[in-house]
């Protein structure tokens, strides 16, 4: 059986240092669970921080790049997939993650959460404002959206969701 | 010079009858301005209603389908583009519209608004709640998001935005 | 009923002047039949020449661009679809054409013919060498590949194929 | 530094048993070199055989699926990327492989070789006829296409190409 893939989505160049700290801790926690980390792959913001966190904890990291080459990939990405699709790759991030965690707020992240929920994937919101929670609870099917206060909480929710949605 | 392309995005099977009435009127207004209408192309909801409105007013309608065939296209679509990308085609909707109007609320629409703003495209919100307005005003660059109360207002805004962003 | 869409695929910057002359005549002939012309949309080679031919004959032209903006579109394209997919848009060219005509030889064209045949679309080879004919006759289902010596012949074949495959 | 990714492309349901034997041996050889194997990910033909070969040799396998779920992935794929792009994912196979090996003949494989060469990626033809060799030598830049008689030869060529194109 394949190892679960957990997506961590968040701002790139627009990420705050708080977003990046959360992402690093989250990436580490995901790796310690033995899950594969999937991000948007670029060498900036949440993608980079989560990948570095997972790498530091000995995990395996996949990056789904918007670019057509791997030149801009984070050094902490093990498997760099060059899609050449620009933000069109956000749909692949959504479809390829067993569970998706949004870490911080941005337009790309918003599109990824929306696409994941539309595809029936469970999403955990970490470090997102109350407006995101309200909006997505209103738009999504019951049980697909949940919120976490810390990376540790997020990981507990992911574990439950993996059990419920994939390994039931 | 090419005719402007105005995208109308909104829920498919989840659309309310109010969404569809707005979309029909909006499609008609777009066609009367001589603009090309672009939608997600399916035979349901806002996509279908906007296309029927534009068709009724003698306009030209383009549908960017998620499917790999044109079997599920609205009858009111003149140019049916079969992408086979699923919701990955939402990015093409965003990139190919000179201005995008969101008409009603849904997860696909949310992703399209987010992707359009990320690509620097102006977006008009019609029939969207105050939470969408707040969220997008917070996330987007100044001047890219505006709100309209009626299809007529939306068309006036689109005219201004086309002038400012494309035909300046 | 929608007007048929006929795709004309061929080299861009690598096109010969013979390729472009064939493409211009083919675009004109397609427009005179009342069919919509679909190309890869760029302002060079076969895409540009076919679009100019169709435009000169009063036709409607669609360009499926690899780029994320329409800046590089041929002036003779009426409906410019900015996909941002790079050569990933070749699959959309294949799926959106009711019949596809290959006009000249190149790697992109080769991929488009292969993808069209894989999707069950009929293809007419015009100005392609005997090696292309042999290769595709060997790989494709009976009846999907045919060859034409002139743009006029190509149009006659397209008319037959449209009748057989779409409007039977 | 990331481990090299070697793509193995070949027919799915249309593969011959000879294609699959070559693919299994090739996948094993790739894994023994410490390279990551990338295929189209489905549970049939060359994709499946190469992945099983790599798995048997202790390698890491990535599958870039055309589907929007991982239900149809080969059991021997470790990292299953669900693109939902249909054959549009062939471009991702081409862009994400440092070197691509074509193993057997089919329309999808043909498109992948063409897209890889167009993107400037080196391709090794294994188990392809003389017509493929002639065609691609004619269309591609010098040095990008080479041919191998056995999986072992293919691996030697891949090693040289990786050195020349990526790790020079």
Asked whether the beta carbons of A108 and A19 are under 8 A apart, the reply is no
Cβ distance of D85 and B88 shorter than 8 Å: yes
Domain B5-165 in CATH 1.10.150.650? The answer is: no
| Residues paired with D126 in a beta bridge | D103, D148
Contact B162, B103 (CB under 8 A): no
pLDDT score, position D1: 81
D88 CB neighbours in chain B (<8 A) are 83-85
Q: Which two three-digit tokens encode residue A165?
A: 């949605």
CB B57 within 8 A of CB B36: no
B130's CB contacts (< 8 A; 6+ apart) are none
Contacts of A84 in chain C (CB under 8 A): 85-88
Strands B79-82 and A5-9: unpaired
Touching subunits for chain B (3+ Cβ pairs under 8 A)? A, C, D
pLDDT-based confidence at residue A167 (cuts at 50, 70, 90): low
Looking at chain A, which subunits does it touch, using at least 3 CB pairs closer than 8 Å as the criterion?
Answer: B, C, D
What's the pLDDT at B165?
83
Q: Which two tokens stand for residue B50?
A: 């906007």
Q: Write down the pLDDT at residue D54.
A: 98
Determine whether the interchain pair B68/D86 forms a contact, defined as Cβ–Cβ distance below 8 Å.
yes
Say which CATH architecture domain D5-163 belongs to.
3-Layer(aba) Sandwich (3.40)
Structure tokens that stand for D61 in this block: 């396998």
Question: How far apart are the two ends of chain B, measured CA to CA in Å?
Answer: 13
Q: Whose CA is closest to D65, among D80, D51, D50?
A: D80
What ipTM, to 2 d.p.? Answer: 0.96
β-bridge mates for residue B79, sequence order: B62
> How far away is chain D from the Cα of A79, in angstroms, using its nearest Cα?
7
Best B9, B91, B96 residue to mutate vs chain A (most A CBs within 10 Å): B91
* Of B128, B15, B46, B106, nearest in space to A138 by CA: B106
For chain A, the residues whose C-beta falls within 8 A of a C-beta of chain D are 2-3, 5, 36, 60, 62, 64, 68-70, 73, 77-85, 91-92, 95-96, 119
| Contact predicate C49/C26, CB 8 Å | no
Element (H, E) at C110: helix C107-118
Give the pLDDT confidence score for residue C168 in this predicted structure.
Answer: 47
As a whole number, the mean pLDDT across chain A is: 96
Chains that touch C (3 or more CB pairs under 8 A): A, B, D
Residues of chain C with pLDDT under 70: 167-168
Question: Is D143's pLDDT higher than 90?
Answer: no
Domain coordinates of chain A in residue numbers?
Answer: 5-165
Pairwise CB contact (< 8 Å): A81 & D70: no
Nearest Cα of chain A lies from the Cα of C11 at a distance, in angstroms, of 20
User: Residue B35: beta bridge partners?
Assistant: none
CA of B132: which chain A residue's CA is closest? A135
CB pair distance less than 8 Å for B79 and C119: no
pLDDT, one tens digit per residue, over B4-58 is 999 999 999 999 999 999 999 999 999 999 999 999 999 999 999 999 999 999 9
State whether C68 and A84 contact (CB < 8 Å).
no
- pLDDT tens digit sequence for A65-117: 999 999 999 999 999 999 999 999 999 999 999 999 999 999 999 999 999 99
Closest CA to C105 of C83, C133, C86: C133
Question: Which residue out of C102, C107, C117, C120 would a mutagenesis test of the D interface target, given it has the greatest number of D Cβ atoms within 10 Å?
Answer: C107
């Amino acid at each position: 059986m394949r190892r679960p893939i957990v997506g961590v989505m968040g701002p790139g160049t627009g990420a705050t240092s708080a977003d990046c700290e959360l992402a690093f801790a989250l990436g580490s926690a995901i790796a310690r669970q033995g899950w594969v980390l999937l991000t948007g792959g670029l060498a900036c913001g949440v993608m980079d921080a989560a990948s570095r966190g997972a790498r530091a904890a000995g995990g395996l990291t996949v990056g789904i790049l918007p670019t057509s080459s791997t030149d801009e990939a984070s050094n902490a990405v093990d498997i760099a997939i060059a899609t050449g699709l620009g933000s069109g790759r956000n749909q692949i991030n959504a479809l390829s993650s067993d569970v998706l965690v949004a870490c911080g707020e941005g337009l790309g992240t918003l599109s990824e959460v929306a696409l994941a929920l539309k595809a029936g994937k469970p999403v955990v919101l970490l470090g997102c404002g109350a407006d995101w929670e309200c909006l997505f609870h209103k738009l999504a099917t019951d049980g697909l959206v949940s919120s976490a206060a810390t990376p540790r909480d997020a990981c507990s929710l992911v574990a439950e969701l993996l059990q419920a949605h994939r390994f039931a």
